[in-house]
Amino acid sequence: MENLFQPAEIASIVLPEEKIKSRVAALGRQITRDYAGKRLIMVGVLKGAVPFLADLIRCVALPLQYDFIAVASYGASTVSSGAVRMLKDLELSVEGFDVLLVEDIIDTGLTLRYLRENLYNRRPASLKIAALLNKPSRRGAEITADYCGFTVPDEFLVGYGLDYNQNFRNLPYVGALRREVWQER
């Protein structure tokens, strides 16, 4: 049953819960086929990718490991600073493993470019990217996802891990935040 809780700050539901579940399951099947017989480590980017990673790993029918990495480029702002800094590093070594970097959204691409380069320098057997959302209209760095859930419009999106000032991550859908909410700051 779909959760219909919709705070007043949400202008519209962009991706309903059932549509997300269906797409995540399809991505899980594709990843299962592509990584069969490989040593897979999925790396979730904190905090936004947690719901996506949690649902995705349950849809991958293979032995795998997972870990988390955290970086910051936004802070409390709604615009990326362009400078990425590491907040939490991996606990696992990825050397020799097939690594799938799992992110909630590719926006400017700056964070993912930094993470891709950082992880590549650790000598994985392979390195690919899975992103639930792709927002190409805001791209500032040349980067694409190998596995992509949805291409989305240039709106301020929240829910399913995406936040505004650390709020709304728990919504089971992706919604557009009302402009007057995020332009108040």
Q: Active-site residues: which are they?
A: 107
**DSSP code string of 77-116:** SSS--S--EEEE--SS--TTSEEEEEEEEESSSHHHHHHH
* Beta strands across the sheet bearing 98-106: 85-88, 64-72, 40-46, 98-106, 126-134, 147-151
Can you tell me the distance from the alpha carbon of 174 to that of 185, in angstroms, rounded to the nearest whole number?
A: 22
φ/ψ region of 12 (left if φ > 0, alpha if ψ in -120 to 50, else beta) reads beta
Q: Can you name the residues that pair with 41 across neighbouring β-strands?
A: 65, 99
Q: How far is CA 62 from CA 31, 38, 65, in A?
A: 9, 9, 10
